Structure 1
Amino acid sequence: MRAADLTKAALIADAREKNIAIRDRLAAGERLTLSLGDGGTVQTIVLMPTYVARIRGDLLAAFEARIAENDHALAELGITP
């Protein structure tokens, strides 16, 4: 494996770990918030529970897809996650 491939693999593996951590937090039911603004101007938007459930489902699916993409990219480099 070339040094460039090793660096690429490390970046992909790091992204995969982060994606798994976020997916697991979502799956565990960690509270979701929607906020607008920054610093002292942050406003939290309250969402209906059914809408939060749909958002959570969409996010879980998106992170599963990201993890699958990470796995595929690592496999192309000859690495099995």
Structure 2
Amino acid sequence: MKAADLTKAALIADAREKNVAIRDRLAAGERLTMSLGDGAAVHSIVLMPAYVARIRADLIAAFDARIGENDQALADLGITP
């Protein structure tokens, strides 16, 4: 394996670790918030529970897909996650 491949693998593995952590937090039911603005001008948007559940499910599915892409990229480099 080339040094460049090691650097690439480390970046992919780091991204995978972050994706797993966020997915796991979502799956564990951590509170989701939606806000608009910045600093003192932040406004929270209140969403209905059913809508939040759909958003959570979509986010979990998206992170699962990203993790799958990370796994494939690592496998392409000969690394088993």
Range of TM-score over shorter length: over 0.9
Give the 5 Å matches for 1:13-28.
13-28=13-28
Q: Identify the residue that residue 50 of structure 1 maps to in structure 2.
A: 50
Q: Quick one: distance in 1 between partners of 2:7 and 2:39?
A: 35
Q: Give me the TM-score of the superposition, normalised by structure 1.
A: 0.98
Q: Quick one: distance in 1 between partners of 2:78 and 2:65?
A: 20
Q: Quick one: distance in 2 between partners of 1:51 and 1:3?
A: 46
Q: Identify the residue that residue 2 of structure 1 maps to in structure 2.
A: 2
Q: Identify the residue that residue 80 of structure 1 maps to in structure 2.
A: 80
Shift of 1:39: 1.2
Q: Quick one: distance in 2 between partners of 1:27 and 1:33?
A: 15
Shift of 1:31: 0.3
% identical equivalent positions: 83
In the alignment, structure 1 residue 59 sits paired with structure 2 residue 59: yes
Ranges in structure 1 where 5+ consecutive residues have no aligned partner:
none
Report the 3-state secondary structure (helix = DSSP H, G, I; strand = E; otherwise coil) of the residue aligned with 2:35.
strand
Ranges in structure 2 where 5+ consecutive residues have no aligned partner:
none
Q: Amino acid of the residue matched to residue 74 of structure 1?
A: L
Q: Give me the TM-score of the superposition, normalised by structure 2.
A: 0.98
Number of equivalences: 81
